[in-house]
């Protein structure tokens, strides 16, 4: 469920930013400012949730999740 909310927050941030850019090009920055602020709020909220999850993992004693999903293959000559 956590990953779903993270995806929703990132998607909302991208949507607000895209609409904000469109509004800036059509009517000006004064009318699109609130869209950029909502975009930043979603990004900050996503970052806050991610850091809290990392802290919970650290407190529970779980090792941090691996970031690289691909194994490195060593080639022998």
pLDDT tens digits for 3-62?
A: 899 999 999 999 999 999 999 999 999 999 999 999 999 999 999 999 999 999 888 886
Q: Give the pLDDT of residue 64.
A: 62
Q: Give the pLDDT of residue 62.
A: 65
* Whole-structure pTM value: 0.71
- 3-6: list long-range contacts, CB under 8 Å, 24+ apart: 5/49, 6/46, 6/49, 6/50
| 77 pLDDT more than 60 | no
Is 72 part of a structural domain of the chain? no
Is 74 part of a structural domain of the chain? no
How many structural domains is the chain composed of?
1
Rounded distance, CA 30 to CA 28, Å? Answer: 6
Q: Give the pLDDT of residue 60.
A: 87
Domain around 23: 2-60
């Amino acid at each position: 469920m956590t990953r779903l909310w993270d995806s929703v927050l990132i998607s909302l941030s991208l949507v607000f930013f895209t609409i904000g850019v469109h509004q800036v090009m059509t009517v000006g920055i004064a009318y699109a400012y609130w869209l950029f602020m909502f975009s930043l709020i979603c990004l900050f909220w996503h970052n806050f949730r991610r850091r809290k999850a990392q802290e919970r993992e650290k407190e529970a004693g779980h090792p941090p999740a691996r970031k690289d999903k691909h194994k490195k293959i060593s080639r022998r000559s």
